[in-house]
Amino acid sequence: MSQQITITAYSTALFSTWIFVAQWRLLLDAGDGVCAGLLQKTRKIHTIAVTHADRDHLAGLFQLLQLNARDGVPRILYPADCGSFPALAAFSEKFDPHTEGQATWTAMQPGEVVPLVQGYKLRSASSFHFTDAGAQVKSLSYLVVREVRSLKPQYVGNSQAELDRIRQEHGADQITQVTEEPVLAYSGDTTVSNADTWRGYKILIHEATYLSHKDAGDQSGRHNQHSVLPDVLEMAKQAGPQVLVLTHFSPRYKPAEVLDTVRQQCRSLELAFPVHVVPPGEIMRDLLSAAPIWRP
Ligand SMILES: [Zn+2]
């Protein structure tokens, strides 16, 4: 799996988050430094899925569009009720007139689906970041699924000759169906939600801003809510991904402190899957190919 999915990521709370999945031409969030980090590879980005309008998740858009906007790409997806995006689109086109009408901007409701590259789709889901959003859609998670064509259950056991005959007579759709295989889930900024949200996804990328509840303090009165590492790991243990990637750590932590704490907590929970970390301040290139911080 790690051979097929190349992820380059930078993620530090307050400063910047961007995650590039090369095979899907997909950028998850577009924080400051994405162009400096990816250089010419930014040209490959066709879809930019932004989770919310905090500046550390979108400040890289401006330069990315200035360099790359052409013929309908990139396509920028954003939570439906974030007014910052239409404002940014208007300003960007005025400031860099050559980008006018080039990129596309799509307001996403939770559950909406857009095609990625051949055979893959991206779906948005509600996340739980802003306490005062009410019914408005201000923050999203994103889920990547693969479309798999398989034999309908009623035809399993038929001979190949029989299947060929039915296909010729009625077409392929008569005997096959398209189902979805969950591949990758990205939480965006959020508190920890129910494990069911992520169940079945092979790769789970989840924020873990705070290493402990003591560091998180009382979040109940705050406008923005974030995840705490022990809660993320407990939830992931229930969800059971093939691999977990932890992002968005607070810059108060040194990388070594993050790695030690993650390893310790994974060991005490006896997690059955490998765990990778995007440490604060560091760009991780092809991170699924690197040695995980925790291996069962
Ligand atoms: Zn953030």
Decide if pLDDT at 234 tops 50. Answer: yes
Q: Quick one: pLDDT at residue 163?
A: 92
pLDDT, residue 136, reads 86
Bridge partners of 144?
A: 122, 184
CATH number at residue 241: 3.60.15.10
Ligand 1 centroid to residue 242 C-alpha, Å:
25
Per cent of the chain over pLDDT 90 is: 89
Ligand 1 center to 165 CA (angstroms): 55
User: Is residue 269 included in any domain, yes or no?
Assistant: yes
167: in domain: no
Query: Could you tell me which of 231, 209, 193, 25 has the C-alpha nearest to residue 110?
Result: 193
Q: Is residue 295 part of a domain?
A: no
pLDDT band at 3 (very low <50, low <70, confident <90, very high): very low
pLDDT at 218: 86
The answer to whether residues 49 and 105 touch, using CB atoms and an 8 Å cutoff, is: no
Q: Is residue 97 part of a domain?
A: yes
- What pLDDT score does 55 carry? 94
Residues 174, 83: contact at Cβ < 8 Å? no
pLDDT, one tens digit per residue, over 121-134 is: 999 998 887 777 77
Summarize the confidence of residues 47-64 as an average pLDDT.
96
pLDDT beyond 90 at 221: no
**How many folded domains does the chain comprise?**
1
E-assigned strands of the chain? 7-12, 16-21, 26-30, 47-49, 75-79, 104-108, 113-115, 120-126, 140-151, 176-186, 203-207, 243-247, 275-277
* Structural element, H or E, at residue 34: helix 34-38
Cα(17) to centroid(ligand 1), Å? 7
Per-residue pLDDT at 78: 97
| Predicted confidence (pLDDT) per residue in 111-157, tens digit | 999 999 999 999 999 888 777 777 888 899 999 999 998 899 999 99
Ligand 1: centre distance to CA 114 (Å): 24
Residue 2, pLDDT > 70, answer no
171-187 burial, b at 16+ Cβ within 10 Å, e below that, comes to eeeebbeeeeebbbbbb
Q: Is 158 among the domain residues?
A: no
Beta bridge mates, 233:
none
Phi, psi values for residue 170, rounded to 5°: -120, -5
Task: Tell me what pLDDT residue 134 has.
Answer: 78
Q: Does any domain span residue 187?
A: yes
Find the domain containing 254 and state its range: 7-143+181-289
Residue 21 lies inside a defined structural domain of this protein:
yes
Tokens, residue 151: 């034999």
User: Which residue is associated with the tokens 């550390």?
Assistant: 56
Q: Could you tell me the distance, in angstroms and rounded to a whole number, from the CA of residue 189 to the centre of ligand 1?
A: 6
Q: Would you place residue 254 in the very low, low, confident or very high pLDDT band (cuts 50, 70, 90)?
A: very high
Ligand 1 mean position, distance from CA 28 (Å): 12
pLDDT at 131: 74
Across the range 198-208, mean pLDDT stands at: 97
Q: Give the model's pLDDT for residue 220.
A: 80
Is residue 33 situated within a structural domain?
yes
Nearest to 191 by CA among 161, 173, 216: 216
Q: How far is the CA of 71 from the centre of ligand 1 (A)?
A: 30
Provide the token pair at 226: 């974030």
Q: Ligand 1 centroid to 138 CA: how many Å?
A: 13
Residue pair 18/27 in contact (Cβ under 8 Å)? The answer is yes
Distance CA 244, CA 225 (A): 21
